[in-house]
Amino acid sequence: MKNDLLFDFTVDKAKKTVTIVKEFAAELPLVWDAYTKQEILDQWWAPKPWKSSTKFMNFEVGGRRFYAMVSPEGQEHWSIQKYTSISPKTNFKIYNAFADKDENPELPGSEWDLNFSEQNGTTTVSVTIYNESLTRMEKMIEMGFKEGFTMTMENLEKLLATLPR
């Protein structure tokens, strides 16, 4: 991390959950937008050199986001996220599943619970992911992030170095 903002990743194997807590140096409405607006989301969702490409996104209860993680070679891995509950600027819930390019979900998926709060200009986001089967997670990693990773970290460092602080 390039700053001292909190990043916490905890796994509860018994409950089959992963919880990721992160602080951001920005006010809540902006952070909320970053998670709920397609044009911002696509800029950070995929760990580089992968790209996130959203085909459509309807941020409303029952609405869906259909997107692909695109590898540098152009390989597409599709996912569907269905918004199951939304409390504006506080919380939203997603049902996330891998999919084929024709929007057919591959079940079971995982349940995501995202909580947003702000204190003194710092916004904290807590994401809890419940997996019926954590084999899914294994699959996600097998899908190609593994190889790309060392490269990813290097790319990121380069990118950060070029950006004005």
Partner 1 sequence: MRRDIFQAIADPTRRGIIALIALQAMTPNAIAENFNTTRQAVSKHLRILTECELVKQEQQGREIYYSLELEKMKEIDKWLDQYRKIWETRYNQLDTILSTIKKQKK
Three-state DSSP class for 154?
Answer: helix
Distance between CA atoms of residues 119 and 89, nearest Å: 14
Three-state DSSP class for 89?
Answer: coil
Q: Closer to partner 1 at the Cβ: 7 or 56?
A: 7
Minimum CB separation of residue 50 from partner 1 in Å reads 9
Q: Which amino acid is at 93?
A: K
Minimum CB separation of residue 83 from partner 1 in Å reads 19
Distance between CA atoms of residues 111 and 93, nearest Å: 7
| Contact set with partner 1 (CB under 8 A) | 1-3, 5, 7, 9, 11, 13-14, 16, 18, 20, 22, 24-26, 30-31, 34, 40, 43-48, 131, 133-135, 137-138, 140-141, 145-146, 149, 152-153, 156, 159-160, 163-165
CB 110 within 8 A of CB 8: no
Q: Closer to partner 1 at the Cβ: 102 or 120?
A: 120
Closest-CA residue to 71 (of 135, 149, 129, 156):
149
Minimum CB separation of residue 16 from partner 1 in Å reads 6
Q: Closer to partner 1 at the Cβ: 14 or 73?
A: 14
